[in-house]
C-alpha cells in the first residue's frame, strides 16, 4: 500500500537532484550538471520504501552507469510495492549549463506495468489542463485545436496562450497560432516543464503542442493525469531501426494515437518536480549565505487529486541532503 512517506519521498528524490545539479548552474557543462543531479537522485532513491525498477532513465545499462533502464531503486524490503519509475534528473541540461529558466528535476512513478516503456525517439504531443479536457485532437491542425481549446476555456482566442518549443519543425504551429490570433510563448529546452505549466491556470499557459522526446512525454503525462488534464501523443520513428525498437518494446502500431491512459495506464500514479532554475511554476534553487539552500517543488497523486507545493530549506553541511 502506498503511503504519504512514499509521496514525500519522491520530493526528497527530486530535491536531492536539484540541489546537486544547481551547484553547476551557468558553468557551461551540461554533462557535469546532469551527472551531479543523477548522483543526488540515486542516493535519495536508496531511502525510498519501494521495490522500484527504472523504466525510463538515463539510457540502457551500457550507456549509463546510474539510473539506467532496468536498474532497481528503493529499499526493496519485503512487502514493499513494486513500482515503475521514470526519471529525468535534469529536464533541460542546456538550460542549467547556461543558467536559463525552466530546468527541473522530475520523477514519475506508478504500480508495476503502469508506465509506457517509451523508446528514446521523437514523439508528437499535445496537452491541456483540466479545463480543456476533451477539446484536443492530435490529428487535427494546430488552428483547429487552438480554436476548440479557446471555446472550452470560454476565452477569446486573443487571450489564449500556446507554448511551443522554438524549433524549425514547429514553424507551422507558430504560423497557424498567429493566423488565428493566439498568444505564443516559445521555449528552448525542457518540454516536461512546458507541459506541466499547462495544468496550472496561474502560469497563463493553456495549450502545448510540439514534437520532443518520447520518454519525457511519458513523464509529463503522469503529471497531466494527476492534474486531471488531457494529453495525446504519437511516436515518430524516422528509421526502420526505430520502428523495430518500438516493436521490441511491445508497441506494435507505431502510428497509433496514444491517449493519456496508454501513456499512463493506472489511476494511482505519482509525479514530483523540483526546479533547478526558475520556471513558470516553481522558483529555482537558492543558495543562502548561512550554508543552507531553498528548494521549491510540487508533488502530485492522481488517485486523490492532491497537489502539494513544498518549500524546503536544506542544511548543506549535512552529508545526507534528503
Per-residue pLDDT of the chain (322 residues; tens, 9 = 90+): 445 578 889 999 999 999 999 999 999 999 999 999 999 999 999 989 899 999 999 877 767 778 999 999 999 988 888 999 999 999 999 999 999 999 999 999 999 999 998 888 899 999 999 999 999 999 999 999 999 999 999 999 999 999 999 999 999 999 999 999 999 999 999 889 999 999 998 999 999 999 999 999 999 999 999 999 999 999 988 888 888 888 777 777 888 899 999 999 999 999 999 999 999 899 999 999 999 999 999 999 999 999 999 999 999 886 555 5
Q: Are strands 207-213 and 161-165 parallel, antiparallel or unpaired?
A: parallel
* Binding site as annotated, residues: 34, 58, 88, 91, 216
HSE value, Cβ hemisphere, 13 Å, CA-based, for 217: 32
Alpha-carbon gap, residue 148 to 142, rounded angstroms: 10
Location of each CATH 3.30.540.10 domain in the chain: 6-112+268-315
* Binding site as annotated, residues for Mn(2+): 34, 58, 88, 91, 216
Task: Output Rg (C-alpha) for the chain, integer angstroms.
Answer: 19
Alpha-carbon gap, residue 230 to 224, rounded angstroms: 6
The answer to whether 136 and 230 have CB atoms below 8 angstroms apart is yes
Spatial CA neighbour of 231 closest among 245, 219, 249? 219
Q: What is the CATH number of domain 122-263?
A: 3.40.190.90
pTM, 2 dp: 0.93
Alpha-carbon gap, residue 315 to 322, rounded angstroms: 10
Kindly report the backbone phi and psi dihedral angles of residue 112, in degrees, each rounded to the nearest multiple of 5, phi listed first: -50, 130
pLDDT at 4: 54
pLDDT at 244: 83
Location of each CATH 3.40.190.90 domain in the chain: 122-263
Q: Write down the H helix ranges in 113-256.
A: 142-152, 171-180, 191-198, 214-226, 240-248
Q: What is the CATH number of domain 6-112+268-315?
A: 3.30.540.10
Amino acid at each position: 500500500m502506498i503511503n504519504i512517506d512514499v509521496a514525500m519521498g519522491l520530493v526528497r528524490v527530486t530535491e536531492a537532484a536539484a540541489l546537486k545539479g544547481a551547484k553547476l548552474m551557468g558553468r557551461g557543462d551540461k554533462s557535469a550538471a546532469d551527472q551531479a543531479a543523477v548522483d543526488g537522485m540515486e542516493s535519495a532513491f536508496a531511502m525510498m520504501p519501494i521495490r522500484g525498477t527504472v523504466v525510463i532513465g538515463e539510457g540502457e545499462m551500457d550507456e549509463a552507469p546510474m539510473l539506467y533502464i532496468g536498474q532497481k531503486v528503493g529499499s526493496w524490503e519485503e512487502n514493499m510495492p513494486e513500482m515503475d519509475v521514470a526519471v529525468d534528473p535534469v529536464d533541460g541540461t542546456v538550460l542549467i549549463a547556461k543558467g536559463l529558466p525552466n530546468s527541473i528535476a522530475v520523477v514519475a512513478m506508478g504500480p508495476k506495468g503502469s508506465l509506457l516503456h517509451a523508446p528514446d525517439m521523437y514523439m508528437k504531443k499535445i496537452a491541456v489542463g483540466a479545463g480543456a479536457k476533451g477539446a484536443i485532437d492530435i490529428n487535427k491542425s494546430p488552428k483547429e485545436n487552438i480554436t476548440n481549446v479557446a471555446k472550452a476555456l470560454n476565452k477569446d482566442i486573443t487571450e489564449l496562450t500556446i507554448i511551443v518549443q522554438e524549433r524549425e519543425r514547429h514553424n507551422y504551429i507558430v504560423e497557424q497560432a498567429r493566423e488565428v490570433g493566439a498568444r505564443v510563448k516559445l521555449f528552448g529546452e525542457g518540454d516536461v516543464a512546458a507541459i506541466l505549466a499547462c495544468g496550472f491556470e496561474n502560469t497563463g499557459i493553456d495549450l502545448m503542442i510540439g514534437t520532443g522526446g518520447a520518454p519525457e512525454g511519458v513523464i509529463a503525462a503522469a503529471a497531466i493525469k494527476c492534474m486531471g488534464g488531457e494529453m495525446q501523443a504519437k511516436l515518430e520513428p524516422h528509421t526502420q531501426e526505430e520502428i523495430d525498437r518500438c516493436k521490441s518494446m511491445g508497441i506494435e502500431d507505431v502510428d497509433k494515437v496514444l491517449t493519456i491512459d496508454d501513456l499512463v495506464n493506472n489511476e494511482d500514479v505519482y509525479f514530483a518536480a523540483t526546479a533547478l532554475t526558475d520556471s513558470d511554476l516553481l522558483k529555482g534553487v537558492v543558495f543562502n549565505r548561512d550554508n543552507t539552500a531553498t528548494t521549491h517543488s510540487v508533488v502530485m497523486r492522481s488517485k486523490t487529486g492532491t497537489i502539494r507545493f513544498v518549500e524546503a530549506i536544506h542544511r548543506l553541511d549535512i552529508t545526507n541532503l534528503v
